[in-house]
Structure 1
Amino acid sequence: MNPCEQQIVLTDEVFRLLRDMIYEISGIYFSDDSKFIMESRLQQSVKRRQFTHFRDYYYFLKYDLKRDEELASLIDIVTIHETYFFRENQQLQTFSQEILPELAHMEEKTKQLKIWSAGCSTGEEPYTLSMLILESPLFHDWSVEIYASDISQNVLQSARRGIYQPTSFRSTDPYFQKKYFTKETAGFKINDRVKKNVTFLHLNLNDRERWILLPAVNAVFCRNVIIYFDMTAKRRVIEGFYGKLKEGGYLLLGHSESLMNLSTHYALKHFKNDLVYQKPLLAKHG
């Protein structure tokens, strides 16, 4: 953008209208002190539509017949997509070394493992999970399904392509990069055996009716996603995860996140190097 180009001012009133619209669609909440962030992020969108006021942009989003495409673009712009392979590796070690053997024991009759990566962004998380499962000798003859969902169509397109730049590997052991990726001109392409376990879905966590697309799962990864929600949306999503988890299933949040003041349904399970939330197993009557 030309530094001399005039900035379009976002008034307090229209900020609140846009904030409420974004919240209603996505559950993402912008506090009063984040008006400048919204104003900055949406400048180009307003000018691209050749509006001179944010109010005109708001009316377009609310009433225009072509609003769906712009709403998708809006959500893509205001959401954060920072991710990389093997993020929060200590938790992943707990998952690989302790949780997966438990799940293998729980599902030894069905030989089916189902995991949901909620807010998967450009795919690094679900592909990481797929690699860890491929590394385990416990699941070689199993049906493994990793459902990877995001609200942004753009990041899902990128995830399906499965081509990554060096920044995505900043926490990756060279062993995994060498074994599961092929160097191409455009970047590093993930192998098909990793991809085959992962199904990408366009899903808004705030739209619980769409959750019917997903089966009951053994584990939910939702890391650094609900930090952008307000308390009401957080509770709704966390309770929704509880409903989707099988008994004994696990909910893995980001290292800075907790269920304090959100839910009392989960048990906090202590592993060697981490604490993880679990949907309790019902007591069996003998």
Structure 2
Amino acid sequence: MSDSAHIARFRELLARLLGWTFADNDAPPLAGLLRDRAADHGMSVSAYLARLASRPWDAELSVLVERLSITETYFFRHGEQFTALREDALPERADARSSQRILRMLSVACSSGEEAYSLAISGRQVRSDPDWIIDVTGIDANPAVLRKAEAAWYSAWSLRETPDAVRRRWFRPDDSGFRVVDEIRRLVRFQRTNVAEPGDGVWNHGQYDVIFCRNLLMYLTPAVTSALVERMTNALAPGGYLFLGHTDSLGRDPAGLELRHTHKTFYYRRAGGPPPAQRISSPAAPGEPSSPAARVPGTPVPPPDENVYERSLDLLRQERFNAALELMAAPRTGPSRARDELLHGVLLAQSGRLDEAIELARRLSEENGLNADAHQLLGLCLEDGSAVAEAIGQYRLAAYLDPGFALPRMRLGQLARRQGDDRVAAGELERALELLAREDDDRITLFGGGFGRLALTVVCRSELDACGVRP
């Protein structure tokens, strides 16, 4: 068996046994790990793989998990999510649990425990009464990081985003670092769990008020991701909350969950339970009017006439931008739709009227925060206006809201390459290449910059080659 065949078999076994997936650019470190583990057991690589596949080998799986895990984390990471937790999710859940006086939370892939303790501190901040029970469970497959979590000692670097008042209240200086106070340690327990397996006692129906599972789904196989999301959804109480990482998305309408947007972050709420205090607007159904709002002064109202939209889109394909704008400026006979305004914004941008395009795109994204196309348009406009950092944020929102949207992934990959981050670029470009084959034709017309599907695919492959990675 060749070296490449050995790596392919190793990746297959890791997917089956752990539910983990690896990109092609992970092949070199995987090859090194495979050689090291086979040598440690005095086996050939082929014999090691055969043993790994033949029967349970828990001790070896523990070593593989320790060697392969990405464990970097810190307290209150992505602070906007913890703000949403304290100011939105937990007060609402506390009201729903007022008779039981208990809040249960779960940290999935908790690593060395910083996230789990952050949840416990947040719970105690929201409900400080001692007769309220705050119960937090942290799960991870890596026994080494769980041992560190149970010790509850951390360096100052792990508290780099922790407010001074929180540090003084909930931590004690200890041996050139900090130890979580016993009051919080008693609220948290840790358990070794492989998310590729059902996990006895972890996924009871309606068990949790809040689940954090951040930056894990991107490392799992599709089958394990689907099963895990279903387990987490079922394990939430009606009205419970699910927080994912910025790299993970379930789209706008996952089964049993409602997307929310507050405190500049997205998260999910399980359907049912008491009505939430605030909801974000839902996208207009195809063919339905968008929500009424003040129009940008001086911009024409696009007509809803189907023929006008299609003719304008065809003029865009021909790069006859001014003619398309004139056509769309004709007097309307009814309310406008979001797609008409989106096309209008694209035409403004292509005609060089960038300030007007940005203003229109901002209004569309503010009217409906779930409109992935509006965020994509705004990103393209901002990038042309040299606001690259803000453009990247808009592309991430577009990709988050619609995981099947290829074009924001492509732009994120191209921008990561410009910034010298070939690893991130390769991941985004691989995903874009996979999605391009299924990308909507109208989206390619709107956001492809004049390139068709084939040309975009060629560009994407060329960018991947430059990263040293082939799909």
| TM norm structure 2 | 0.54
Whether contact under 8 Å (2:239, 2:274) holds in the other structure is: no
Deviation, 1:32, is 3.5
Output aligned runs, 1:182-201, within 5 Å.
Answer: 182-185=172-175, 187-201=177-191
Q: SS state of the match for residue 115, structure 2?
A: helix
| In structure 2, C-alpha distance between the alignment counterparts of 1:282 and 1:185, rounded to whole Å | 46
Gaps of 5+ in 1: 1-8
| In structure 1, C-alpha distance between the alignment counterparts of 2:245 and 2:109, rounded to whole Å | 12
| In structure 2, C-alpha distance between the alignment counterparts of 1:229 and 1:237, rounded to whole Å | 10
CA 1:264–1:137 in 2, change beyond 3 Å: closer, same or farther? closer
2:28 to 13, 17, 36: 36
CA 1:139–1:29 in 2, change beyond 3 Å: closer, same or farther? farther
Output aligned runs, 1:201-212, within 5 Å.
Answer: 201-208=191-198, 210-212=199-201
Q: SS state of the match for residue 251, structure 1?
A: strand
2:267 aligns to what? 276
- Give the partner amino acid of 1:168: S
1:235 aligns to what? 226
What whole-Å deviation, never above 9, does each CA across 1:213-249 have from its counterpart, x for those lacking one?
Answer: 4541111100011110122221111111111111001
| In structure 2, C-alpha distance between the alignment counterparts of 1:27 and 1:121, rounded to whole Å | 17
Which moved further from structure 2: 180-189 or 261-270?
A: 261-270
| In structure 1, C-alpha distance between the alignment counterparts of 2:183 and 2:2, rounded to whole Å | 48
Whether contact under 8 Å (2:80, 2:264) holds in the other structure is: yes
Structure with larger RCO (C-alpha < 8 A, sep 6+): 1
1:24 aligns to what? 16
Deviation, 1:77, is 1.1
| In structure 1, C-alpha distance between the alignment counterparts of 2:32 and 2:89, rounded to whole Å | 43
| In structure 2, C-alpha distance between the alignment counterparts of 1:154 and 1:122, rounded to whole Å | 8
Which moved further from structure 2: 241-250 or 163-172?
A: 163-172
What whole-Å deviation, never above 9, does each CA across 1:188-211 have from its counterpart, x for those lacking one?
Answer: 211111111101011111101x24
Indicate whether 1:87 and 2:77 are aligned.
yes
CA 1:272–1:182 in 2, change beyond 3 Å: closer, same or farther? closer
Deviation, 1:261, is 8.8
Indicate whether 1:145 and 2:138 are aligned.
no
| In structure 1, C-alpha distance between the alignment counterparts of 2:129 and 2:197, rounded to whole Å | 33
| In structure 2, C-alpha distance between the alignment counterparts of 1:183 and 1:42, rounded to whole Å | 41
Whether contact under 8 Å (1:29, 1:230) holds in the other structure is: yes
Whether contact under 8 Å (1:104, 1:139) holds in the other structure is: no
CA 1:267–1:123 in 2, change beyond 3 Å: closer, same or farther? same
| In structure 2, C-alpha distance between the alignment counterparts of 1:50 and 1:263, rounded to whole Å | 48
Structure holding more strand per residue: 1
| In structure 1, C-alpha distance between the alignment counterparts of 2:119 and 2:209, rounded to whole Å | 13
Indicate whether 1:57 and 2:48 are aligned.
yes
Deviation, 1:175, is 2.0
Whether contact under 8 Å (1:248, 1:280) holds in the other structure is: yes
1:111 aligns to what? 101
Gaps of 5+ in 2: 276-471
CA 1:282–1:248 in 2, change beyond 3 Å: closer, same or farther? closer
Structure 1 residue ranges, 4+ long, deviating more than 4 angstroms after superposition? none
| In structure 1, C-alpha distance between the alignment counterparts of 2:234 and 2:12, rounded to whole Å | 27
Whether contact under 8 Å (2:101, 2:132) holds in the other structure is: yes
Aligned length: 273
Which moved further from structure 2: 182-191 or 193-202?
A: 182-191
CA 1:139–1:39 in 2, change beyond 3 Å: closer, same or farther? farther
| In structure 1, C-alpha distance between the alignment counterparts of 2:135 and 2:9, rounded to whole Å | 40
2:61 aligns to what? 71
Whether contact under 8 Å (1:149, 1:200) holds in the other structure is: yes
Whether contact under 8 Å (2:103, 2:123) holds in the other structure is: no
Structure holding more helix per residue: 2
1:15 to 3, 7, 26: 7
| TM norm structure 1 | 0.87
Which moved further from structure 2: 186-195 or 93-102?
A: 186-195
RMSD in angstroms over aligned alpha carbons? 2.4
- Give the partner amino acid of 2:5: E
Q: SS state of the match for residue 212, structure 1?
A: coil
Indicate whether 1:179 and 2:169 are aligned.
yes
